[in-house]
Structure 1
Amino acid sequence: MAKAKPAKNTSAGDGQIRLIGGQWRGRKLPVLNSEGLRPTTDRIKETLFNWLMFDIRHCRCLDLFAGSGSLGFEALSRGATEVVLVEKDTKVAQQLQRNLASLPEAPGQVINTDALGFLQTAATPFDLVFLDPPFHRELLPNACQLLEQGGWLSEDAKIYIEREQNSEPLLLPPNWRLLKDKQAGQVNYQLYQREQMV
Structure 2
Amino acid sequence: MTRAKAPGRSPAGSGGGSGRLRIIGGRYRGRRLPIPDQPGLRPTADRVRETLFNWLAPVLPGARCLDLFAGSGAIGFEAASRGAGEVVLIERNAAVARQLRTNLLTLAAPRVSVIQADALAWLAADATPFDLVFIDPPFADDLLAPACARLADGGWLAPGARVYLETAARAGFPPLPAGWELIRDSTAGQVRFGIALIQPAAGIASD
Do both proteins adopt the same fold according to a TM-score greater than 0.5, normalized to the shorter chain? yes
> Among 153, 160, 170, which residue is 2:157 paired with?
153
Matched with 1:80 is 84
The structure-2 alpha-carbon separation of the partners of 1:6 and 1:31, relative to structure 1 and needing over 3 Å to count, comes to farther
Matched with 2:97 is 93
Structure 2 residue 147 is matched with structure 1 residue 164: no
Q: List alignment gaps of at least 5 residues for structure 2.
A: 203-207
CA contact (8 A) 2:20 2:34 kept: yes
Structure 2 residue 28 is matched with structure 1 residue 58: no
> Among 138, 146, 151, which residue is 1:142 paired with?
146
The 3-state SS of whatever aligns with 1:191 is strand
The amino acid of 2:17's aligned partner reads: G
C-alpha distance after superposition, 1:114-168 (max 9, x if no partner): 0100100111100000000001211111100000110110011000001011216
Structure 2 residue 185 is matched with structure 1 residue 181: yes
Distance 1:106 1:56 in 2: 17
The structure-2 alpha-carbon separation of the partners of 1:11 and 1:170, relative to structure 1 and needing over 3 Å to count, comes to closer
**Pairs within 5 Å for 1:20-31:** 20-31=24-35
The 3-state SS of whatever aligns with 1:35 is coil
The amino acid of 1:195's aligned partner reads: Q
The amino acid of 2:73's aligned partner reads: G
Distance 1:66 1:110 in 2: 9
Q: List alignment gaps of at least 5 residues for structure 1.
A: none
Distance 1:105 1:184 in 2: 29
CA contact (8 A) 2:61 2:83 kept: yes
Matched with 1:118 is 122
Structure 2 residue 45 is matched with structure 1 residue 41: yes
CA contact (8 A) 1:7 1:33 kept: no
Distance 1:33 1:130 in 2: 23
Percent identity over the alignment is: 48
Distance 2:19 2:60 in 1: 26
The 3-state SS of whatever aligns with 2:126 is coil
Structure 2 residue 33 is matched with structure 1 residue 14: no
